[in-house]
Every structure is written in C-alpha cells, then in structure tokens.
Amino acid sequence: MSAPPVSEIRNYTMNFGPQHPAAHGVLRLVLEMDGEVIRKADPHIGLLHRGTEKLAESKPFNQSIGYMDRLDYVSMMCNEHAYVLAIERLLGIEPPLRAQYIRVMFDEITRLLNHLMWLGAHGLDIGAMTVFLLCFKEREELMDVYEAVSGTRMHATYYRPGGVYRDLPDTMPKYQASRWRSPKQAARLNEVRSGSMLDFLAAFTAAFPARVDDYETLLTDNRIWKQRTVNIGVVSPERALQLGFSGPMLRGSGIAWDLRKKQPYEVYEHMDFDIPVGVNGDCYDRYLVRVAEMRQANRIVRQCVDWLRAHPGPVMVDDRKVRPPRRERMKDDMEALIHHFKFFTEGYEVPEGETYAAVEAPKGEFGIYLISDGANKPYRLKCRAPSFPHLAALEEMCRGHMLADVVAMIGTQDIVFGEIDR
Amino acid sequence: MSELIEALALKVDAALAGSVARRAPLAHELGYETEAATLLTVCRTLRDAPELKFEMLMDVAGVDYLHYGRDEWQTQSATHSGFSRGRVARLDVPDPLAAGRFAVVYQLLSISHNQRLRLVVKCPDSAEPVIDSVVDIWASANWFEREAFDLFGILFRGHPDLRRILTDYGFIGHPFRKDFPLSGNVEVQYDPDKQRVVYQPVSIVPRVLVPKVIRHDHRYEPALKDPQADR
C-alpha cells in the first residue's frame, strides 16, 4: 500500500483590484502567492493618470489651482498650498499675516479631514465598522467649514498666490427641516451654526478631543485591532529613509521629522504643537501617530481661531499683478476692466527661475517643483506626491506577510490614487 | 537663511570641487549641475560625506527643454486682424535633437543637517537620452526613474526594472515631451461589432486657449529696472 499522494503545492499569481473596495481607488496589484504567503507584489498604477502636470503647462498659473485639489482628493487645500507657495517664491511675494493664519488653519482642518477619512477607511478595511461611521460624522462638520469658506465641500480652490480668495464668512450653512429631519432636530443641529465660522470652529475644537477618545476606546486596546496591526509591515528607520518615506510613515518608524517644525512655512513657527513619533515602525505605531496628530492638529486650529478672532485685516497681498481689481471699481473704471480682462485671460507672468516648495501634507511631504521661463504658464510642473514612494515600498513591506495583511498594508500607507497617478 | 545656504555651498564646493557647477536659483535654495559621467560619484559623495549626508532622495523629475523661452504671441498681428486670438504658430520648429534637451532633476534632503539640495543633470544625447540610475544609492529612485522613463523616454542605465508605470499597457510615445500633443494621438471607443474597446486616431482638434506670453517685467529683470523706482 502506497502513501497517500501529496498534493502538489506551487506558487500562483493572483490579481488584486483594480476595482476592489480595499484597493483605495484603482490599484491593481499582481501578487505572487505561496499558499497564503506573499512572495512578490507588483503594483500596477496609472489607471487614474490624467496628466495633471502636462495640463498645467498649457494653462495660466491661476487656472491650475483647481487641479491641485484633485490630486490628493482627501487633503485638498494642502496640495493647493504647495502650488501657491511655489508661485509666491518665484514672484517674491508674501501673503499678509491673516492669510497665513487662515492657510495654517485650513491646512490643519485638512489634516483632520484626511486622518478621519484614513481612520474610518482603514478600520473598515480590517474589520472595524463602527469607527467608519463615527469618523464620517465629524468629517461632515469640517466639510461644512470648507463649504462656508469656498462654496464647495471638497475641491475648494481657495488659496491664491498672494493670499486666499476671500475672508472668513460670518455665517455657516444651516440644516433645514425635511422629511427625515424634524424642525426640532434641525434647530438642535443649527445651534452651533448660528454664529460665524470661527465660532463654529471654536465649538468644534472644544468637542473634538472627546471624539478622538471615542475612536481610541474602540480601537487602541481592541484585541482584534492589535492582532491585525501590531508587528505588521515593520519598516526600520534606515529603510524608511532609503525608501523616501515622509509624514506619518517616517515618524511611525521613529524619526522625528516634520516640515512644520524643521522647515517652517507660513506661521507654523508661532504654533505650539508636538510631533508624535512611533517606536516599532509597524501598522499599529503609524495608527497611534496619526491619532496623536489629530489631537495636535486640533490644537493648532484652536490657536488659529483665537488669533484670527483678534486680528482682522487683509487676506490678499496688495499687488496688482496677482490680485484682480475690486468689482465696484470695474463698474466705472475702464482701466480696472482691462486689468480684470487681462488678469483672467492671459494671467500674470512669473519671472524665469525654478523652485521646489514642500509642505507637510497629511500623508507626508507634498512638493511642487516649478520651472518658469518667464511666461504666463508654468514651463514644467512636477508634483512630488508622498504616496508615490510609499506605494513603491509596498512590495518590500508585504513580502512574507499573509494575503489579509496586504489590505492592512495598503490602509496603513494611506494612499490615494489621485496623487499617485496624477 | 541665505547664510545657511552659503555655508552649505562651501561644504559642497570643498567635497566636490570641479565636478559640480552652481546654478543660480533663488536665495533660499541651492542647486548644482553636474555632468552625466560624474553623476554616480557625485551622488555617493552627497549621500556619504559626513558634512553633507543627503540620505533622502525626495523626487526625480524629468524635464524637456525643447520649447524653453519660446512664446507664441504677437501683438501686432492681433491688432491687424481684429479679435483674433493673437496667437502665431511659429514656423521655426526647434531642433528636437539639439544638445541639452533633456535633463533630470534630483531633489535631495538631509535629515541630519536639515538642508536641501537640487542636482540637475543634462542628458548628453537628445536622440537617445541615457543616464546612470541612482537606485543603488537611494532606493526611492526606483519608481521615480520609471516615471521619468515613461513620460520623457529618458533611459536609466542599471535600473533593475525599467518598465512603463503611469501610461496604458502598450502605450506608444512619451507623453510629457513637449512635441507630444496635449490631446494625445489615440482615443478608445467601444466597438459594438467587434464587441471590444478599440483604439482609433484622436478626434479632438488641438487648440490653444491661452497663448504663451513672455513679457519682460522691470521688477524682475535688473537690466530693465528703473533707477528712479526704488526711491
């Protein structure tokens, strides 16, 4: 009698995505599996490639601000920030102080938006449904702030070279009673919305730390959460530097590097906040870093609200080159009308030169490398997207892990295809 | 800020005298240009020299200098022909094989010294731009170089896996070159007879909405600066 035949075990290739709910957009991942274990992972990207950089080369400078929102579409204003910073450096202008505070405040609101989205989606990916619903509730409040200031909930196009588009509004959008919302409910929701935008934000920042406590109650000591994240996707600090990591991915590996502290732009040097740093460089540490960052971002928003309440002033530099004329002047001033026409058709010329402007976006270092040849359009625009090198390291992080950990790894990298594919 | 830049410039000059040339960018940034032949030694020194220690490569950008400094605007013809777009299609097509057309730009960051540096390398041959890969020095160069290859057709010698990355499978051409049309060459459509998606020549007529204008502004050019203005 012979031994029972041993079934033949061999590696096989598996296709993950591009339309997988855990692929965070359109990631196609070709996995070479040995049973449940990943031997090779080859990300295929570019399914969302729109040629943003080439499109920007064919348009006047100001017309590309809106494209920047659509790069990393969950941290919109930070992308705009890097772009307008690059233009401002070439033009040699500096926005007024109030505009700088507004920008810092909205950068941090954007960080909250991004981290809330990340926490919800990452939790959902690896099996925590509740936190997703909680995060999106807070996210909705912050999107109302976006709406109040720019008219849109996501793609704001609010920053301009030389300042911001307009000053903070005195009113907030309000809920209306409907079939699903009784007048009483609407009135309760509108209670915090009765004042100005800054009043609303003050109330939000006062309440938000308790919300973060809620998320932490659900996750931080959760046994399943820890089983899915602790010691998964460990990146040593040396490798993190080699692989070009930035943001929470770098800080999770224990390197205290934050552009807001180390190379401060705008008014970050006047802000009081801490840089959270991880120890082990695994998914759990990166989770802790991001949650701590939410608390710090909340602190910064709070400080900005206090300053902005006390210091009214201009929000746009008084430079006719980058600032359109006032609407009232256009009605009875021919020169103002011509100025307006030229400004919105031809745009303005930026002096010849090149610059690299980087901001600490929620995902890491978002940089804009801008070359101008003295024309009204950029000669070359290169967006340095933080997720791009992160995703490039996916294979190294995944190798030897189980298939289910790939989802945790994609989640912890906080990738968004708008900026990877550009 | 500029003292720090000058201090760094002295260190770079001391470590790499002769193999790099300083570019003239803005006051708070430092840029150097080097030859393709010396790229790898320069990069190794920048990473390993204890006073430089650029341990991170943040970005690699390809650049096509074919249309640099060429505008497409003529004021006289615009007034003659009334409300035309004022755009002139220039007849003198730039030579695509002229030397120095392609360049690769590296953005370096030193975490230990908190400083940045930009390194520019011009590809010696414009017909077949080839340059040494820096993957062995900074692992992050891997995808950045694939992207520059995909979009500009710059080849990186010694790259382990130089495939296209952003464009479609089987894409022809390098879309970010200046002589590649903005609307592309092909478009896709579902063919009900063949019951699959087919490629066909693009139906969009390329059109420039805003012509590229270069004006010489007295505020930025020292030669045009009005000596009275600063008073």
- Residue A282's nearest CA partner among A387, A99, A412, A181 is A412
Q: How confident is the model at residue B225 (pLDDT cuts 50, 70, 90)?
A: low
Query: Which range has highest mean pLDDT (A6-20, A85-99, B215-229)?
Result: A85-99
- Residue in the block written with tokens 């340059």: B131
pLDDT at B83 over 50: no
Instruction: Name the DSSP letter for residue A131.
Output: H
B40 or B230, greater pLDDT: B40
**Substitution target from A15, A88, A238, A241 for chain B, most B beta carbons within 10 A:** A241
The per-residue pLDDT for B91 is 62
Query: Which range has highest mean pLDDT (A58-62, B15-19, B26-30, B79-83)?
Result: A58-62
pTM of the entire predicted model: 0.89
Q: With an 8 Å Cβ cutoff, is B188 touching chain A? A: no
Burial class (CB in 10 A: 0-12, 13-18, 19+), B193: exposed
The per-residue pLDDT for A12 is 84
Q: Tokens for B111? A: 């975490």
Say if the Cβ atoms of A369 and B107 lie within 8 Å: yes
How close A18 comes to chain B (CA, Å)?
A: 14
Cβ within 8 Å of residue A281, ≥6 positions away: A234, A235, A236, A237, A240, A252, A253, A254
A118 or A16, greater pLDDT: A118
**CA of A302: how far to CAs of A156, A208, A231, A288, A395, in Å?**
21, 11, 35, 22, 40
Cα A315 to chain centroid distance, Å, stands at: 23
B157 has which bridge partners? B132
Please write the tens of the pLDDT for every residue from A226-285.
Answer: 988 998 889 999 999 999 999 999 999 989 999 998 888 889 989 899 999 999 889 999
pLDDT at B105 over 90: yes
Please write the tens of the pLDDT for every residue from B185-219.
Answer: 899 899 999 999 999 998 888 777 888 888 877 77
What's the rounded mean pLDDT across residues B168-193?
Answer: 89
Q: What is the mean pLDDT of chain A?
A: 89
What's the rounded mean pLDDT across residues B71-83?
Answer: 57
pLDDT at A221 over 70: yes
Cβ within 8 Å of residue A269, ≥6 positions away: none
Q: Tokens for B63? A: 């650049």
Query: In terms of DSSP H, where are the helices of A151-278?
Result: 183-190, 197-219, 223-229, 237-242, 248-252, 259-262
Report how far apart the first and last C-alpha atoms of chain B are (Å, whole number).
Answer: 27
Cβ within 8 Å of residue A92, ≥6 positions away: A351, B220
Residues of chain A above pLDDT 90, percent: 40
Say if the Cβ atoms of B69 and A374 lie within 8 Å: yes
What's the rounded mean pLDDT across residues B104-125?
Answer: 90
CA angle in degrees (0–180, nearest 5) for B189-B195-B200: 30
**Substitution target from A30, A91, A238, A379 for chain B, most B beta carbons within 10 A:** A379
Say if the Cβ atoms of B58 and A358 lie within 8 Å: yes
**CA of A117: how far to CAs of A324, A387, B82, in Å?**
36, 15, 53
Please write the tens of the pLDDT for every residue from A274-321.
Answer: 999 999 889 999 999 999 999 999 999 999 999 999 999 899 998 888
A371: chain B residues, CB-CB within 8 Å = 63
ipTM: 0.86
Cβ within 8 Å of residue A6, ≥6 positions away: none
pLDDT at A86 over 70: yes
The per-residue pLDDT for A388 is 92
Q: Tokens for A232? A: 């998964």
Pairing of strands B130-132, A12-16: unpaired
Say if the Cβ atoms of A349 and B217 lie within 8 Å: yes
Residues of chain B above pLDDT 90, percent: 26
Say if the Cβ atoms of B25 and A355 lie within 8 Å: yes
Say if the Cβ atoms of A384 and B139 lie within 8 Å: no
What's the rounded mean pLDDT across residues B16-34?
Answer: 79
- Distance separating alpha carbons of residues B16 and A203, to the nearest angstrom: 56
- Residue A400's nearest CA partner among A20, A21, A73, A41 is A41
The per-residue pLDDT for B231 is 41
A422: chain B residues, CB-CB within 8 Å = 166
Phi and psi at residue B170, in whole multiples of 5°?
Answer: 80, 20
By residue count, chain B amounts to 231
CB atoms near residue A77 (< 10 Å): 28
Please write the tens of the pLDDT for every residue from A380-405.
Answer: 999 999 999 999 999 888 888 888 88
The per-residue pLDDT for A304 is 92
Q: Tokens for A280? A: 């082990």
A354 has which bridge partners? A371
pLDDT at A39 over 80: yes
The per-residue pLDDT for A5 is 64
Element (H, E) at B13: helix B2-15
pLDDT at B79 over 60: no
Instruction: Name the DSSP letter for residue A316.
Output: B
- By the 8 A CB rule, do A53 and A422 touch? yes
pLDDT at B80 over 70: no
What's the rounded mean pLDDT across residues A63-68?
Answer: 91
Q: What is the dihedral of CA A226, A227, A232, A238, to 10 degrees?
A: 40
**CA of A360: how far to CAs of A117, A205, B21, B226, in Å?**
18, 21, 30, 39
Phi and psi at residue A328, in whole multiples of 5°?
Answer: -65, -40
Instruction: Name the DSSP letter for residue A22.
Output: G
Residues of chain A above pLDDT 70, percent: 98
Secondary structure (DSSP) of B69-124: T---B-HHHHHHTSS---B---SS---TT-TT-EEEEEEEEETTTTEEEEEEEE-S
Secondary structure (DSSP) of A78-90: HHHHHHHHHHHHH
pLDDT at B159 over 60: yes
Cα A312 to chain centroid distance, Å, stands at: 28
- By the 8 A CB rule, do B133 and B105 touch? no
Question: Mapping DSSP to helix (H, G, I), strand (E, B) and coil, where does residue A62 land?
Answer: helix
The per-residue pLDDT for B88 is 61
Please write the tens of the pLDDT for every residue from B125-156.
Answer: 888 899 999 999 999 999 999 999 999 999 99
The per-residue pLDDT for A4 is 64
Instruction: Name the DSSP letter for residue A305.
Output: H
pLDDT at A358 over 70: yes
Cα A252 to chain centroid distance, Å, stands at: 18
What's the rounded mean pLDDT across residues A98-109?
Answer: 93
- By the 8 A CB rule, do A62 and A160 touch? yes
The per-residue pLDDT for B85 is 53
The per-residue pLDDT for B230 is 47
How close A362 comes to chain B (CA, Å)?
A: 16
Which of B58, B61, B114 lies nearest to residue A244, judging by beta carbons? B58
A42 has which bridge partners? A30
B188: chain A residues, CB-CB within 8 Å = none
Q: How confident is the model at residue B96 (pLDDT cuts 50, 70, 90)?
A: confident
